[in-house]
Structure 1
Amino acid sequence: MLAACILCGAQYPLAAKPMRYRCTCGGLLEIIQSFGHVEAEKMKDLFHKRLGERHSAAASGVWRYKELIAPDLPENMIVTRNEGNTGLYEAPSVQAFVGIRRLWLKAQSENPSGSFKDNGMTTAVSHGRSLGYTGFACTSTGNTSSSLAMYASTSGDSSLVLLPDHDISINKVLQTTAFGAKVYAFPGSYDDGIKWLEAHAEDLGLYICNSVNPVRIEGQKSIIYEIAQDLNWKLPDWILLPGGALSNAAALGKGLQDLFSLGFITKMPRVAIIQAEGASPFHRMIAQSSCILLPEPCPHTAASALNIGNPPSWRKARWTLDRTNGVTASVSDDEIMEAKACIDRSGIGCEPASAAAVAGLRKLVLAGTIHRDETAVCLLTGHLLKDTDAIRAYHLNNHPLAGSLPLRNEIVHVNLDSDLRSRLSAATGRN
């Protein structure tokens, strides 16, 4: 496996310890794939046949595409939970909410640990094991940590997780501890944790599974492969996704480039990266036509998974925008929670960060950036129950945000002897 620096182009082998995440110049690395052996039509047939797999690595919605992700990784090193294979849904009520002709929601919340992180974590942990690592580490606002802890436990290895001690969902922390990770909360930000790991992980025998790891990005490419296959290799006009650390945007762009250059698709969709207003340094950079990202010193948003002020993959995400004629937008917490309530009511559900994609789509449609007659896919990155505090705040009348809360659904306390029957009779018009 070979990787190249995204800044200077220097190349590094990734087939032996120590694992390398950055170039000597400081730039992040990107895996170089050689696809000379790939014939698109034959591969399409192979990927279709693998949909019937149940008891091999090919049953995974990631490893189904092994030839495009990690062709040289030994099969016996693969750690999988049959990740991927997540639903691509049409939701008429959400489509009406955003005002577009046709909309699909890619529910990455259906992954084993409940988020899109599984698509990349399976490749990262598998690669780390192939190099001889038995300890894995990350810093996280929640989803990365729970995914890592699950895969490390699955493989019988250990995991260490660093968590900021504020503005994170306790649900994700509890999930991480239940899977057996050693969890350390620290005063500081996500960015502080990343810097600490990059400085100390190798000395501690730890393999880093954050988005600075280029192998993880290869696994996350499978999300766009799945969408393309589900839509018979004809992608919509737009693909929208939330932007936190921006690893998903980086992976999306790399996967789209693969599909287009290999002839799997003939038209490149446009990409929109949506950030929360309280944590939107990437959007601000794009809006100001700047080439340098200025970190948000104190990021804060109700969408805790987006609470990242210095996204490490911003250069790769910019490459995605450049190659797809993409755009960015930022949305308020109020807009995020309104979109979340709509998605929840559709029967699909998501955590607040996921809803940023739908809120951003609505905003871009209203602004005329996205035409009402166009089509789109929104990525829902995390499960409804990843952040129950947000659900409680919205529906149980303790919501800290402004707005009319049009879909609030309170719990009504009644007396079964008489009160409930009279309430139900009044509601239905029956005596």
Structure 2
Amino acid sequence: MSVLKCPVCGNEYDINRSNYLCDKCGNILEVIHENDFVKENFKGVWRYKSIIHPGIDKRLIVTRGEGNTFVYGHENISSYSGIKNIKLKHEGENPTGSFKDRGMTVAVSEAMRLGYKKTLCASTGNTSASAASYSAMAGIENFVLIPDGKIAVNKLAQAYVYGSKIIKVPGNFDDAMGKLMNIISKNNNFYVLNSINPWRVEGQKTIAFEILEENEPDFIALPAGNLGNTTAIGKAIKEFHDLGLIKKIPRIVSVQAEGASPFYNLVNNHEDSLNPVNPETIASAIRIGNPVNWKKALKYIKFTNGIVEKVTDDEILNAKRIIDRSGIGCETASAASLAGVKKLSDAGIIDRNDEVFCILTGNVLKDIHIENINFMDINILS
């Protein structure tokens, strides 16, 4: 059995509901299952069907084989971070090049179950690419609101080629989300695919499931923008613990860019509520100043005794350079996880003997910044 439940006031709703805001207090709902973990005859995300969407008919599942991403270790990463046992789980190896595919396979499958013909999202890029692909596979028309001039062209191209209807909105991602919320308040024909949709979190949980089935990490670090992944990783840890599948609770390290760090301010300044900021960072995927999932994310930071850190753009780019030059490569925002871990290692908060997993959220080709290429003379080969 599955229900939608408000994490703040506790009100419960039927899962056939597609309004994911609590009627009583307006907070974003969570999906709660009362199931044991039974391994399914799938690979990747849907292997965990019994604890991400047990009730859906398998014929309605829209999948591209997402999940089961590779884990990298490299001496350059260990040397840079000061941590011997550090691994990088690369979500950029999902079908459209980011972790979003894990959530989108569940959310679009749910749109199919509910009978929707149109999907809608606001996006800085990765969400739009994933939503466009999975909606196209399902035969559903997809609409994308993008912040004008605030999206990487590589990501915009993906949404375009998959056939999305793309609408430019003045301002940043938070402005686009405001437009989206206004649209759905007046028109219930659209199924929303942003991370206010709790089924997205259900798919993204599987990042942590894959780690925890085979490892006992001390820390799991990830970039933090809209805080859907911080919520998902925390929910996965709690569920595996509640099911008795793990005894040790790893600490989440949620890393924001310094220019877009309202969650950092909330946690580290002991504020009562999140105060939105005007975001500015080179890491476009986490250039978000008013993250909608902050209440749920805060709950799981507390549950895991987690840490919220912030890093500068230079620290992100330095970490990215190490990842790229190790032959692994990642999207710019992805490197925030390694940058944050290095900062905590330098401060003595993470020990060199701790086991650490860093989540790389996107592919190296997602957000390209290349300047001053140093071309070699042909004579170097002589």
> Structure 1 length normalisation: TM-score?
0.86
| Deviations 1:147-170, CA, capped at 9 Å, x for gaps | 000001111111000000023211
CA contact (8 A) 2:262 2:290 kept: yes
Which of 181, 204, 210 is equivalent to 1:226? Answer: 210
Report the residue type matching 2:343 in the other structure: K
CA contact (8 A) 2:254 2:307 kept: yes
Gaps of 5+ in 1: 51-57, 397-409, 415-419, 426-431
CA contact (8 A) 1:137 1:161 kept: yes
Which of 171, 176, 179 is equivalent to 1:193? Answer: 176
- CA-based RMSD of the aligned residues comes to 1.3
Partner SS, residue 173 of structure 1: helix
Match of 1:405 in 2: none
1:55-70 equivalent positions in 2, closer than 5 A? 58-59=42-43, 61-70=44-53
Partner SS, residue 386 of structure 1: coil
Report the residue type matching 2:200 in the other structure: R
Alignment of 1:96 with 2:79, yes or no, is: yes
Among all aligned residue pairs of Structure 1 and Structure 2, give the percentage whose two residues are the same amino acid.
44
Alignment of 1:412 with 2:360, yes or no, is: no
Alignment of 1:329 with 2:338, yes or no, is: no
Which of 48, 51, 54 is equivalent to 1:71? Answer: 54
1:324-363 equivalent positions in 2, closer than 5 A? 324-363=304-343
CA contact (8 A) 1:177 1:183 kept: yes
| Deviations 1:159-187, CA, capped at 9 Å, x for gaps | 00000002321110011101110011110
Which of 286, 289, 296 is equivalent to 1:316? Answer: 296
CA contact (8 A) 1:250 1:313 kept: yes
Alignment of 1:307 with 2:287, yes or no, is: yes
Report the residue type matching 1:337 in the other structure: L
CA distance in 2, matches of 1:424, 1:284: 53
Partner SS, residue 341 of structure 1: helix
Match of 1:211 in 2: 195
CA distance in 2, matches of 1:158, 1:254: 31
Cα distance, 1:204 vs structure 2: 5.4
Cα distance, 1:66 vs structure 2: 0.2
CA contact (8 A) 2:118 2:141 kept: yes
Match of 1:33 in 2: 33
Report the residue type matching 2:3 in the other structure: L
1:289-300 equivalent positions in 2, closer than 5 A? 289-296=270-277, 298-300=278-280
Partner SS, residue 62 of structure 1: helix
Match of 1:110 in 2: 93
Match of 2:19 in 1: 20
CA distance in 1, matches of 2:125, 2:31: 26
Partner SS, residue 301 of structure 2: helix
CA contact (8 A) 1:86 1:106 kept: yes
Report the residue type matching 2:111 in the other structure: G
| Deviations 1:190-232, CA, capped at 9 Å, x for gaps | 1222232223236151100101011111111111111123x2x
Alignment of 1:82 with 2:65, yes or no, is: yes
CA distance in 2, matches of 1:347, 1:258: 34
Alignment of 1:258 with 2:227, yes or no, is: no
CA contact (8 A) 2:128 2:144 kept: yes
Q: After the TM superposition, which of the residue ranges 188-197 and 275-284 deviates more from structure 2? A: 188-197
| Deviations 1:77-106, CA, capped at 9 Å, x for gaps | 100000011101112211111000201100
Cα distance, 1:381 vs structure 2: 0.1
CA contact (8 A) 1:88 1:227 kept: no
Match of 2:7 in 1: 6
> Structure 2 length normalisation: TM-score?
0.96
CA distance in 2, matches of 1:289, 1:204: 38
CA distance in 1, matches of 2:227, 2:365: 22
CA distance in 2, matches of 1:200, 1:293: 24
Alignment of 1:285 with 2:266, yes or no, is: yes
CA contact (8 A) 1:14 1:20 kept: no
CA distance in 2, matches of 1:291, 1:241: 24
CA contact (8 A) 2:85 2:354 kept: yes
> What stretches of structure 1 move > 4 A for 4+ residues in a row?
none
CA contact (8 A) 1:164 1:187 kept: yes
| Deviations 1:350-405, CA, capped at 9 Å, x for gaps | 011000000000000001111112110000000000012x2x13xx2xxxxxxxxx
Alignment of 1:237 with 2:218, yes or no, is: yes
CA contact (8 A) 1:167 1:300 kept: no
Report the residue type matching 1:269 in the other structure: P
CA contact (8 A) 2:125 2:156 kept: yes
Cα distance, 1:264 vs structure 2: 1.1
Partner SS, residue 315 of structure 1: helix
CA distance in 1, matches of 2:306, 2:188: 40
Match of 1:378 in 2: 358
1:415-426 equivalent positions in 2, closer than 5 A? 420-421=378-379, 423-425=380-382
Partner SS, residue 385 of structure 1: coil
CA distance in 1, matches of 2:319, 2:248: 29
Match of 1:53 in 2: none
Report the residue type matching 2:205 in the other structure: K
CA distance in 1, matches of 2:144, 2:216: 37
Report the residue type matching 1:218 in the other structure: E
CA distance in 2, matches of 1:144, 1:300: 19
